[in-house]
Amino acid sequence: MGRKEQVVEKAHALMYKPEMIRNFGIAAHIDHGKTTLTDNLIYGAGLMSLELAGKEVVMDSYILESERGITILAGNISLVYDYNGKDYLINLIDTPGHVDFGGQVTRAMRAIDGAIVVVCAVEGVMPQTETVIKQALMEKVQPILFINKVDRLINELQVTPEQMQERFTKIITKVNSLIKRYASAEFKEAWQVDVKKGTVAFGSAYSNWAISYPFMQSTKLGFKEIFDHCKQEKQKELAKKLPLYKIILELTINHLPNPLTAQKYRIPHIWHGDKESQISKDMAACNRNGKLVIMVTGMKVDPHAGEVATGRVFSGTAKKGVKVFLINKMMDATLQQIGVYMSKTERFQVEDVPAGNIAAITGLRDAYAGETVAEEKIEPFEAIKHYSEPVITKSIEAKNPKDLPKLIEALRQVGKEDPTVKVQINEETGEHLISGMGELHLEIIEYMITHDKHVEIETSKPIVVYRETVMRESPEVEGKSPNRHNKFYIVVEPLEDGVYEAMMNGEIPEGRPKDMKAMANRLKEKGLDADEAKKIWQVYNRCLFIDMTKGAQYLNEAKDLILQAFEEAMDAGPLAQEKCTKVKVKIMDVKLHEDAVHRGPAQVIPAVKRAILAAMLYGDSVLLEPKQKLFISVAQEYMGAVSNDIQGRRGQILEMTQEEDLLSIVSKVPIAEMFGFAAGIRSATQGRALWTTEYLGYERLPKELQNQIVRNVRERKGLKAESPTPNDFLE
């Protein structure tokens, strides 16, 4: 039996001892050392040599990851360690740090209970560090801190011991301020990271050593000795005295929760069904003998095994042959194979996986990341909330027309594997659109389609995705059905800022309200009029549909058709057929024909849809453009060149700070102006600038650009170039 098989056998035995399990992820800003840290943990479990730990980057097994030196896909591995004479099972997820792959981090957070946040000692807390801490805390995942690359601080930046301590204090203070800001009330203080508590470690993942306060106490080694060893280039000695994996292991085992503890507070947070039900109690208690409930957190298409789901088992035990129900898809399925991950590409089959563990499962062909899988029909888990959205689109076609069916299947698979990719398939024209988080995201998707799915493709230049909204309340607009027997009176107006922000944060879910009273209370709290809050029909695309009619006959019978019309209007606004957002649509009155035959889909849908679109134009329709926060670190001498580049891209400088001779510039830039930025900034700074971006949401397009952009988008979509008027929808 090979070493990995032995680990799997031990891991399977430990799955039945939830108090000995830790499910955690490693998360950080790009290049801060997550995957190198993971290597050390793999070495500690006896699965690689010390010489390769930190250099091999085992978890970056996808070809593009090793070529580009970045993590693109989250990777799972199960490891077994002996700690103080007891075996522990670590279910570990290594996550990407690049902003374009933040969706992978969000989905991983649903599967785990704790997170090691890695921060580079040289760069400090960066934008993506803040994002991953927020992602963890929104899922009630406890963070602990590893400050990496301490050797670089000493040898490259030549800091004194006092300066080193100051830098550490600054990082810890910043991380704690983020925990205070984003953690739920009961954990704001309890989860503060603290050197003396042992929830912070310092070290070098590349050189395989680390130190924490408890280890300082037991080894009598301190920062002075570490400073001296680094200066004298004796880091190999440090790695023997202070092996990184041991310090990290102590951190996680002593300070991160096991599933028995974590599920008590995580289940009420992510599952909103009946708290008194048996299924709720089984999940909260991590009961392996309860009914099976799995949350799918990832899907991969394996060329041999087909679609493989990654899922956290919250209740019951996943076994081959168990009949389950996909709650959101409303479909039956049967579990076919159960396994554990030993890397991104390796899975080992096991008999079963009980509650509290992460499993690889085949047989859930129609599932997707975010699906609830259960033995009986239950309330689904809260949807996984992604904190940015696709803002760049490309048109994609098969080079060879006979490959069109293969391309459609490849796009379907890509959309399932990565829910942050939006795919629109037009089978009539053969043109398909893929939307992603950024240029790199789309580049990777194109590579996957060509090399993994074996479809030769041609793509257009990137297109920016806009949104449509209204600036003021419209007059009441009458929409008539084609047969003139039905009339709908519609008003649109901008959605209140507080309500919109709550939708962005996931506090107000999409769809038709399940608990009308709770929804009304939440909307009132966020600033919606009390009368309107009681009459919500639907939330869609962060827009609201409200029924303000009084005593209207036959309205309930037409409700589904009216809402279909609302969705269609919000999916393609009046100006450029872009999606709408932050719009409140109110139906004020209706006159419906008494005979249902005369108020079918062909009558109701066009009448309501056109009335909404016309009302939006009366309400001063505008385009919103996506923006990014741009963070640039550069030497003082390049300030002018960088400022000119930002302003030349319609950017707005928000903040400038200087630390020694390094300048940090924070600005806000339209994504439409960011194409070619990498080449531009390298040229302006002779390649000496470091930069990163963060999705910022949509803001109004400047007035002077709107007509031209609307014309460009309409022409691209094959529409009449001139902007429409309300009469175009009311004829």
Residue 479 and residue 453 share a domain = no
Residue 415 and residue 286 share a domain = no
Residue 638 and residue 600 share a domain = no
Phi, psi of 266 (to 5 degrees): -80, -35
Residue 124 and residue 33 share a domain = yes
Residue 351 and residue 451 share a domain = no
Residue 520 and residue 446 share a domain = no
Residue 628 and residue 611 share a domain = no
CATH code, domain carrying 671 = 3.30.70.240
* Residue 315: strand, helix, or coil: strand
CATH code, domain carrying 426 = 3.30.70.870
The CA distance from 395 to 714, in Å, is 15
Q: What angle separates helix 161-182 from helix 223-231, to the nearest 10 degrees?
A: 120
Low-confidence ranges of the chain (pLDDT < 50): 53-66, 68
The 10s digit of each residue's pLDDT in 31-65 is: 787 788 888 888 777 665 555 544 444 444 444 44
Whether 711 maps to a domain, the answer reads no
Last residue of a domain, one of 587, 619, 651: 619
Between the CA of residue 169 and those of 149, 160, 165, 537, 722, what are the distances in Å? 15, 14, 6, 50, 59
Residue 652 and residue 566 share a domain = no
Last residue of a domain, one of 329, 347, 374: 374
Name the residue among 347, 327, 698 with its Cα closest to residue 541: 698
* Residue 671: strand, helix, or coil: helix
CATH code, domain carrying 598 = 3.30.230.10
Residue 226 and residue 129 share a domain = yes
Whether 387 maps to a domain, the answer reads no
* Cα of 239 vs its chain's centroid, Å: 35
Q: Are 435 and 119 in contact (CB under 8 A)?
A: no
The 10s digit of each residue's pLDDT in 632-675 is: 888 888 888 888 888 999 999 998 888 767 788 899 999 988 88
pLDDT for position 427? 58
pLDDT for position 59? 45
Whether 715 maps to a domain, the answer reads no
Name the residue among 662, 653, 596, 613 with its Cα closest to residue 629: 653
The CA distance from 456 to 258, in Å, is 47
pLDDT for position 72? 56
pLDDT for position 101? 59
CATH code, domain carrying 291 = 2.40.30.10
pTM (2 d.p.): 0.78
Residue 480 and residue 453 share a domain = no
Q: How far apart are the first and last CA of the chain?
A: 77
Whether 686 maps to a domain, the answer reads yes
Domains in the chain: how many in total?
5
Residue 662 and residue 677 share a domain = yes
Whether 34 maps to a domain, the answer reads yes
Whether 722 maps to a domain, the answer reads no
The CA distance from 172 to 152, in Å, is 18
Last residue of a domain, one of 448, 465, 482: 465
pLDDT for position 710? 94
CATH code, domain carrying 127 = 3.40.50.300
Domain region containing 405: 392-465
Whether 308 maps to a domain, the answer reads yes
Whether 379 maps to a domain, the answer reads no
DSSP of 487-507: EEEEEEEEPPHHHHHHHHTTS
Residue 320 and residue 199 share a domain = no
